Structure formats: C-alpha cells, structure tokens
Amino acid sequence: MTKIAVKPGLQPELFVYSFPVRVYFENTDAGGVVYHAEYLKFLERARTEWLRHLGFDHQALARNHRIVFVVTQAVVDFMKPARLDDAVAVSVQLESLGKVRCVFTQEIRREAELLVRAKITVACVTGEHFKPAEIPEALRRKMQASL
C-alpha cells in the first residue's frame, strides 16, 4: 500500500490505496498486451478492495441499505501497455465526495512506470429503481476522512 499526503490525526492508509494485480493470459490480446477493457476491470477491483479496506462491501450495502454504486463516467488515459505476467499496482484516491456522487483518481503502475491514469465518477443509487440515493452516513464519514 502506498501512503502519501498524510494529514495530522488521520489514518494515512486511507489517502492512497494500492491494490496489486498480476496480468494473466486472459487479460491480454494475441500479442501479449493487456486488452484496453481489462484495465477497467483492474480499476473496479481496486475500488472494491478500497471499499472493503474501509470496512464495507457491496453485498452488505445492497442488503442493509438497498443501494448500489454505478460508474457514471470514466476518463482513461492509456500511456504505456502492461504485458503478460506483469505485476502492476492499481491505486485509488478519492478526489471529491458529494451526497450521491464521488470522483476517484486512479493509476495503474508497473513499479514507478505510469501505465494508465483514470478519473472515475461513481454514483450511489437505489438497488431497485436506480434512482439517486445518499451515500450511507457511516460510509460517508470513512470516505470523508480520506479526502
């Protein structure tokens, strides 16, 4: 886990979370290069694990609060390719937090080399009708601490 921008009195591990991913054959095209859509999966996995790191998971949020998170916008810059068997780190940093939406800045790196940079906007919606819903207060407090 990478730690930066430590704020006094808060848990530094909340600021930038890093999730390791190994590139498998299933993630690559015929040339052994990661297929572009696979990066979105890597980004999603890292956000899901960040949520678990905060003490929450998607199934419990759906069951207990009747909400789900949906991606409403993804801006992805592909800078360099990842290849078969690469070990990469996928970072998650919360950039902004509203009542319903939040924006994440994410990067995929092979050691110090930046491969992908993304800005992902996520909205909280009701699980049944997909109407906007406020992020549950307990989760919101944990997320707020990471800003």
Which CATH number covers residue 73?
3.10.129.10
Number of domains in the chain: 1
Task: Note the pLDDT of residue 12.
Answer: 46
The whole-model pTM stands at 0.88
In a domain, 87, yes or no: yes
* Cα gap 54→56, rounded to integer Å: 6
In a domain, 20, yes or no: yes
User: Tens digit of pLDDT for each residue in 37-85?
Assistant: 999 999 999 999 999 999 999 999 999 999 999 999 999 999 999 999 9
In a domain, 3, yes or no: no
* Cα gap 44→50, rounded to integer Å: 10
In a domain, 34, yes or no: yes
Q: Where in the sequence numbering do the catalytic residues fall?
A: 29
In a domain, 64, yes or no: yes
In a domain, 110, yes or no: yes
Strand order across the beta sheet in which 17-22 lies: 17-22, 87-97, 101-110, 113-126, 67-78
In a domain, 80, yes or no: yes
CA atoms within 13 A on the CB side of 128: 3
User: Tens digit of pLDDT for each residue in 40-51?
Assistant: 999 999 999 999
In a domain, 35, yes or no: yes
Q: What domain range is 141 assigned to? A: 12-145
